[in-house]
């Protein structure tokens, strides 16, 4: 999820769609990367949430039974703050056919983002039982599940598993928050330094950035509380 790789991927998929505008998978993947890259603070298209929703709606008109399209439709609803609609889209995606391992993980992540933690945990565990190799945001979902429940040791363990490029602010943020909640303030200093030095603009609007894809306000508040305890300067 580095910004450089995001830009390369985005432009590549946009070029495919110029030649094949009804390619359902490319429509959905482009919508997906518009959404999450917006949360990461990357330079992107104007109004990425609106554009992503337009792409997904087009994909669903072409292929109304696409499981993946409905899963990403759920994510678009999350970004629009529509919890009920997001859950309905995830449930419908799940019911269309037995989900693949990757789809189980994606839906588990989505349920964690809307605050349905038990459902998210079950799906993520099932996905990892079938395939232990996963994207880093699986670990972020596990962090959400355990952090909001005060299980900081487990949350910290999953935060430490997150391995991404240096331009993803979520990695040092979650590590620092969990360490601080465990009382390891000095151990969080390096992550806090990275955040203050490299992500000052995001830190000035941290609640907004987290709120793009986390619908549980109490979780957002607890993450910010942990980060402040670690010494992070947050507006």
pLDDT digits (tens, 9 = 90+) for 10-63: 999 999 999 999 999 999 999 999 999 999 999 888 999 999 999 999 999 999
Q: Are 164 and 36 in contact (CB under 8 A)?
A: no
Give how far Cα 173 sits from Cα of 29, 49, 149, 187, Å: 26, 24, 18, 13
Q: How buried is 235 (Cβ within 10 angstroms: 0-12 exposed, 13-18 middle, 19+ buried)?
A: exposed
**What confidence score (pLDDT) does residue 210 get?**
97
- Between the two ends of the chain, the Cα-to-Cα distance in Å is 26
pLDDT (tens digit, 9 = 90+) per residue, 64-76? Answer: 999 999 999 999 9
Give how far Cα 185 sits from Cα of 37, 68, 179, Å: 30, 41, 7
Q: How far is CA 105 from the centre of its chain?
A: 12
DSSP character at residue 179: H
**What confidence score (pLDDT) does residue 44 get?**
87
**What confidence score (pLDDT) does residue 208 get?**
96
Give how far Cα 118 sits from Cα of 4, 112, 185, Å: 35, 8, 30
| pLDDT at residue 223 greater than cutoff 90 | yes
**What confidence score (pLDDT) does residue 188 get?**
97
pLDDT (tens digit, 9 = 90+) per residue, 174-185? Answer: 999 999 999 999
Q: Are 141 and 128 in contact (CB under 8 A)?
A: no
- Six-digit token pair at 124? 């993520």
Q: How far apart, in whole angstroms, are the C-alpha atoms of residue 234 and residue 216?
A: 19
pLDDT (tens digit, 9 = 90+) per residue, 85-144? Answer: 999 999 999 999 998 999 999 999 999 999 999 999 999 999 999 999 999 999 999 999
Q: How far apart, in whole angstroms, are the C-alpha atoms of residue 81 and residue 85?
A: 9
**What confidence score (pLDDT) does residue 148 get?**
97
| pLDDT at residue 159 greater than cutoff 80 | yes
The DSSP result for 102-138, as a single string, is: HHHHHHHHHHHHHT-HHHHHHHHHHHHHH-S---HHH
- Six-digit token pair at 103? 């789809």
pTM of the model: 0.95
| pLDDT at residue 1 greater than cutoff 80 | no
Q: Are 153 and 130 in contact (CB under 8 A)?
A: no
- Work out the average pLDDT over 192-213: 95
Helix (H, G, I), strand (E, B) or coil at 165: coil
**What confidence score (pLDDT) does residue 164 get?**
93
Q: What is the largest CA-CA distance in the chain?
A: 55
């Amino acid at each position: 999820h580095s910004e450089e790789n995001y830009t390369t991927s985005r432009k590549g998929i946009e070029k495919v769609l110029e030649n094949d505008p009804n390619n359902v998978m490319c429509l959905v993947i482009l919508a997906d990367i518009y959404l999450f890259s917006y949360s990461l603070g990357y330079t992107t298209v104007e109004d990425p949430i609106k554009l992503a929703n337009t792409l997904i709606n087009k994909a669903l008109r072409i292929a109304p039974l696409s499981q993946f399209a409905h899963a990403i439709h759920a994510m678009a609803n999350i970004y629009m703050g529509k919890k009920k609609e997001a859950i309905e889209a995830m449930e419908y995606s799940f019911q269309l056919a037995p989900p693949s391992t990757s789809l189980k993980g994606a839906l588990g992540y989505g349920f964690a983002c809307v605050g349905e933690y038990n459902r998210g945990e079950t799906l993520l565990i099932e996905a990892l039982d079938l395939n232990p190799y996963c994207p880093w945001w699986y670990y972020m979902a596990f962090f959400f599940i355990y952090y909001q429940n005060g299980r900081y040791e487990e949350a910290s363990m999953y935060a430490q598993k997150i391995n991404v490029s240096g331009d993803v602010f979520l990695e040092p943020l979650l590590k620092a928050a969990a360490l601080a909640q465990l009382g390891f303030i000095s151990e969080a200093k390096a992550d806090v330094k990275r955040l203050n030095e490299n992500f000052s603009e995001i830190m000035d609007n941290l609640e907004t950035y987290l709120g793009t894809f986390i619908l549980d306000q109490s979780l957002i508040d607890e993450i910010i509380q942990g980060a402040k305890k670690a010494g992070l300067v947050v507006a």
